[in-house]
C-alpha cells in the first residue's frame, strides 16, 4: 500500500471519500491507530484564522474555554454520521457550561452552510481558513477529531474517530476530565 493512498480507518466506513484530503489524512503513524482517546500532556490550543458562516473573519481564541471542539468536514462520511449526536451533546452540555463547537476543514462556505441548515445545527460552526495548517497546528491526523480544551486553553483530551455522543455518560466524562485538569493545575 502506498502511503499517499492511506486514509485512517473508521469503524463505520472504510475511508473518507475525497479530493486532496488524502494528503492531509495520510502518512502519519497516528492515522493507523484505531479510533480512540488520546490523553496526552496538555498543550495550548492553537489560535487559528477562521471564517464564520456569515463570511466574517474570526479567531479560534474567540471560542472561550472550556470547550469541546469537533474538527470535521462535509466530505467525511464518519463526520456526517457523528454530527447529529454531537449536536445533541451540545444541547445537553450547555447547561453545564461546556460549549461544543464545530471547526470545518471544508473550503466551500456555502456547502457548510447548507449542511448546518440540513442538520439543524445550533452550535457555533466555523471554517478553518487553511485546513492543512490548522490540521498541523491542532495535531489532527484523521477526521473527525474532537478536542477537549480546559479553562486554561490547554487541549487535555483528543478523541480520534466518530463517537456516540448521545451516550448518557458523556457529560460526566467531560466534566470529570475538566475537573481533573483543574485540580492538576492548582
Domains of the chain, residue spans: 3-185
Report which DSSP code applies to 168: T
Give pLDDT, residue 185.
Answer: 73
Answer whether residue 77 shows pLDDT above 90: yes
Query: With bands split at pLDDT 50, 70 and 90, how would you rate the model's confidence at 14?
Result: very low
Choose between 20 and 48: higher pLDDT.
48
* C-alpha cell, 175: 466534566
d(CA 123, CA 129): 19
114-173 pLDDT, tens digit per residue, is: 999 999 999 999 999 999 999 999 999 999 999 999 999 999 999 999 999 999 999 999
Close Cβ partners of 37 (under 8 Å, ≥ 6 residues apart): 157, 158, 159, 160
Choose between 28 and 102: higher pLDDT.
102
Close Cβ partners of 114 (under 8 Å, ≥ 6 residues apart): none
d(CA 155, CA 146): 10
List, in sequence order, every residue forming a beta bridge with 57; answer none if it has no partner: 51
Give pLDDT, residue 40.
Answer: 52
Query: With bands split at pLDDT 50, 70 and 90, how would you rate the model's confidence at 24?
Result: very low
d(CA 161, CA 144): 5
Give pLDDT, residue 31.
Answer: 37
Query: With bands split at pLDDT 50, 70 and 90, how would you rate the model's confidence at 184?
Result: confident
What kind of architecture, by CATH, is found in domain 3-185? 3-Layer(aba) Sandwich (3.40)
Contact 178, 156 (CB under 8 A): yes
d(CA 170, CA 160): 15
Q: For the chain, give the mean pLDDT.
A: 83
Q: What average pLDDT does the segment 16-28 reach?
A: 40
Contact 130, 49 (CB under 8 A): yes
Amino acid at each position: 500500500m502506498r502511503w499517499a493512498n492511506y486514509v485512517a480507518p473508521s469503524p463505520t466506513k472504510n475511508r473518507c471519500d475525497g479530493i486532496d484530503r488524502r494528503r492531509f489524512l495520510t502518512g502519519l503513524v497516528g492515522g493507523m491507530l484505531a479510533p480512540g482517546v488520546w490523553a496526552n500532556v496538555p498543550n495550548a490550543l492553537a489560535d487559528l484564522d477562521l471564517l464564520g458562516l456569515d463570511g466574517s473573519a474570526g479567531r479560534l481564541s474567540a471560542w472561550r474555554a472550556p470547550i469541546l471542539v469537533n474538527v470535521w468536514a462535509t466530505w467525511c462520511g464518519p463526520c456526517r454520521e457523528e454530527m447529529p449526536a454531537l449536536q445533541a451533546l451540545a444541547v445537553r452540555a450547555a447547561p453545564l457550561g461546556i460549549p461544543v463547537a464545530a471547526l470545518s476543514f471544508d473550503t466551500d462556505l456555502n456547502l457548510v452552510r447548507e449542511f448546518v441548515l440540513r442538520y439543524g445545527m445550533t452550535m457555533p460552526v466555523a471554517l478553518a481558513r487553511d485546513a492543512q495548517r490548522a490540521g498541523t497546528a491542532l495535531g489532527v491526523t484523521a477526521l473527525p477529531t474532537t478536542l477537549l480544551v480546559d479553562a486554561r486553553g490547554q487541549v487535555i483530551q483528543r478523541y480520534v474517530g466518530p463517537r456516540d455522543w448521545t451516550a448518557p455518560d458523556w457529560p460526566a466524562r467531560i466534566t470529570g476530565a475538566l475537573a481533573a485538569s483543574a485540580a492538576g493545575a492548582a
